[in-house]
Amino acid sequence: MHILITGGAGFIGSHVVRHFVNVYPEYLITNLDSLSYAGNLENLKDVERKPNYRFVKGDITDRSCIESLFEEHRFDGVIHLAAESHVDRSIASPQQFVLTNVVGTVNLLDAARNCWSADYGGKRFYHISTDEVYGSLGNEGLFTEETPYDPHSPYSASKASSDHFVRAWHDTYGLPIVISNCSNNYGSYQFPEKLIPLFINNIRLKKPLPVYGKGENVRDWLWVIDHASAIDVIYHRGENGETYNIGGHNEWTNIDLIRLLCEIMDRKLGREPGESAALITYVTDRAGHDLRYAIDSSKLQRELGWQPSILFEEGLERTVEWYLGNQEWLEQVTSGAYREYYETMYR
């Protein structure tokens, strides 16, 4: 079994690569990544020398590169994570989101179809998506697989679009696909533009913690390692053509999460209680900021027996420990272009 994982040098992708390389030594795993600002081969140091792992630097928007890669390797499966993934960047520069998330996905779909069309048996195209395609909830209710799409940000609109293309390749060409839509992930190796690693880094450096609006928005947080285990289960046992929501039944308002993070950081850094929370600074809200995301993952639990392995408080504690134990990683990824991004975004 030869599986192509796209975006494997990013946050979730690196955990998925690590999981598949370690759990399935009999599989060959090829990681295709363009090494954008978010891609980092340091995330995969522990698996880079494994005999069942290969890295290819390539861009999914480059159609001929993708076609020749499929011709050369005849993959049995694809797990597609490569994407532009940050909502704030999508507000500032939407074009790249259309190119990577929509055009890049269509390039992969076409390459897989051309390569497999003689015999789809045993093949699988697994598209990794987000709960943000469903839009925003009020105070009640959960996103199910039947919730109509209602994306608001350029990021979620591009992911919604890519989901539609994946389903279209199934319905039109019979491509064997599966899709999952997951809630917000947290854990090690996440680029510090997203809430949790950004705030850990700022607390470490005693910099302000920029809370958008009143901090009342709600997100449903899942440990990235639990996402990787769900992807394994869905890749192997999900029904062809089906969609599975993945989430941890773990809703937090941003401000409650930030206060918990501050408490943990005070403890771990030996600071006075309240020292980190004093850095909280309310700033202008994000444009089109979705109020609440919450996932109903009962289909995945019922049909495929998956469930999250860890409580949020424990996962967050472990996550903080990882960043504090890997401050060189943080220093490396926040040097250079990151500084410019930060100044422009939060000035």
Contacting residues toward ligand NAD, per CB under 6 A: 6-7, 9-13, 33-36, 38-39, 59-61, 81-85, 100, 104, 128, 130, 159, 182, 184-185, 191
What is the smallest separation between the CB atom of 121 and ligand NAD, expressed in angstroms? 27
Using the minimum distance from each CB to ligand NAD, give the nearer residue, 75 or 279.
75
Q: Does residue 128 interact with ligand TYD by CB under 6 A? A: no
Using the minimum distance from each CB to ligand TYD, give the nearer residue, 164 or 286.
286
213 CB-side CA count, 13 A: 14
Q: Does residue 219 interact with ligand TYD by CB under 6 A? A: yes
131 is catalytic: yes
Structure tokens at 222: 């899942």
Structure tokens at 329: 């990683």
Closest residue to ligand NAD, Cβ-based?
A: 10
Q: Does residue 254 interact with ligand TYD by CB under 6 A? A: yes
Q: What is the DSSP string of 194-244?
A: SHHHHHHHHHHTT--EEEETTS--EEEEEEHHHHHHHHHHHHHHPPTT-EE
Q: Does residue 217 interact with ligand TYD by CB under 6 A? A: yes
Interatomic CA distance for residues 180 and 162, integer angstroms:
12
Q: What is the DSSP string of 235-276?
A: HHHPPTT-EEEE--S-EEEHHHHHHHHHHHHHHHHTPPTTTT
Q: Residue 219 touches which of ligand TYD, ligand NAD, none (CB < 5 to 8 A by kind)?
A: ligand TYD
328 is catalytic: no
Residue ranges of E strands in 61-188:
77-80, 124-130, 177-182, 184-186
- Considering only residues 153-212, where is the footprint of ligand TYD by CB under 6 A? 184, 194-195, 198, 210-212
Of 155, 235, 293, 323, the active-site residue reads: 155
146 is catalytic: no
Q: Does residue 276 interact with ligand TYD by CB under 6 A? A: no
Interatomic CA distance for residues 327 and 231, integer angstroms:
29
Between CA 332 and CA 338, with CA 335 as vertex, the angle to 5 degrees is: 115
Using the minimum distance from each CB to ligand NAD, give the nearer residue, 41 or 324.
41
The set of catalytic residues is 131-132, 155
Enumerate binding residues for ligand TYD (CB under 6 A). 87, 184, 194-195, 198, 210-212, 217, 219, 254, 286
